[in-house]
Amino acid sequence: MPHLNITGLNGAFSELKRGANYALLAPLDNQLLELTRHLLTNHKDSVFLLSEQVELFFEGEGSELLFTLFEQKVLHPFHLHHNENVSKSLHFSRGVINEIKQYEQLKNSTVIVHVDSEHLVSLNEQQLGEKLKLYVALSQSKNVTLVFLMSGAYVSELRRQLLALNRFFDGLIYITQEASIRTLEYDYWCHKEGVIAGRSVNLQLHDGQLALVEVEQEADDKSQATEQDFDEDEVWLTQSAVPEGTKLPVFYKIIDDNDGVVS
């Protein structure tokens, strides 16, 4: 099952389901490429990559992964050709889908569609919805994990459009960056136990690997434990580590020895 291979990231924030559709948005392509490489780490099933700029994925730091997947015949790259005269009827829709349907490897695969926000923001809600319906049908009929990568100058406007069309997506993330901190803003994200909505995680890059810095939580969310929460108020100590007569907080627990702590 594909997921975001980010150190310390809770499974609910990282899992992507089969037969589902996700949108990752960012102003800059390199922010999306970085996240895509983490998505494809340890990926075993077929990947179909559709982009007007396929070469971007094979450039820069971390591109060795994509070359390896291509050489292993796991990654299948396709060029999208944008023609302004036919974009509303063909681009980002039926023609591309019919082409990749010819591949037996499509079933149970991951399909990544990289598009510039400029090509989508000009479409009205009905036009964009009609195109998204085709991809939803593809993901459901072929049990595909479909990931849209959307970037460019109009990505903020596109984000608002997609929120109005959220019935077509199982998850929507907006990526921002300030200095060395990358922030993933989860507008919503469906996972096996429910839905995450209105949450953010901060990440930092260490030796090419993204790692969690912190998870922002609203005060009323703190009681809802996840795998990522720490029992900060529950401290276990061995008897020998506590000086006699020490007054400890109520949540501190005294254990006889190290074996007791392990047990």
For residues 137-164, one letter each, b for 16 or more C-beta atoms within 10 angstroms of the residue's C-beta and e for the rest, the string is: ebbeebebbbbbbbbbebbeebbebbee
List the structure tokens of 214. Answer: 């912190």
Rounded Cα distance between 109 and 135, Å, is: 14
Task: Give the model's pLDDT for residue 84.
Answer: 52
Rounded Cα distance between 233 and 215, Å, is: 18
Find the mean pLDDT for residues 142-147. Answer: 95
**Is pLDDT above 80 for 51?**
yes
pLDDT band at 85 (very low <50, low <70, confident <90, very high): very low
Lowest mean pLDDT segment, chosen from 10-24, 53-67, 95-109, 229-243: 229-243
Whether the CB-CB separation of 174 and 185 falls below 8 Å is answered with yes
Find the mean pLDDT for residues 35-61. Answer: 90
User: What tens digit of pLDDT does each residue of 97-132 get?
Assistant: 888 999 999 999 999 999 999 888 888 888 889 889
User: What tens digit of pLDDT does each residue of 240-250 get?
Assistant: 766 665 555 55
Lowest mean pLDDT segment, chosen from 19-28, 41-50, 159-168, 219-228: 219-228
Rounded Cα distance between 67 and 52, Å, is: 18
**Is pLDDT above 60 for 87?**
no
**Is pLDDT above 70 for 37?**
yes
Find the mean pLDDT for residues 19-36. Answer: 94
Find the mean pLDDT for residues 148-157. Answer: 94
Task: Tell me which of 180 and 147 has the higher pLDDT.
Answer: 147
Task: Give the model's pLDDT for residue 121.
Answer: 87
Rounded Cα distance between 104 and 101, Å, is: 8
List the structure tokens of 22. Answer: 């996700």
pLDDT band at 227 (very low <50, low <70, confident <90, very high): very low
Whether the CB-CB separation of 23 and 165 falls below 8 Å is answered with no
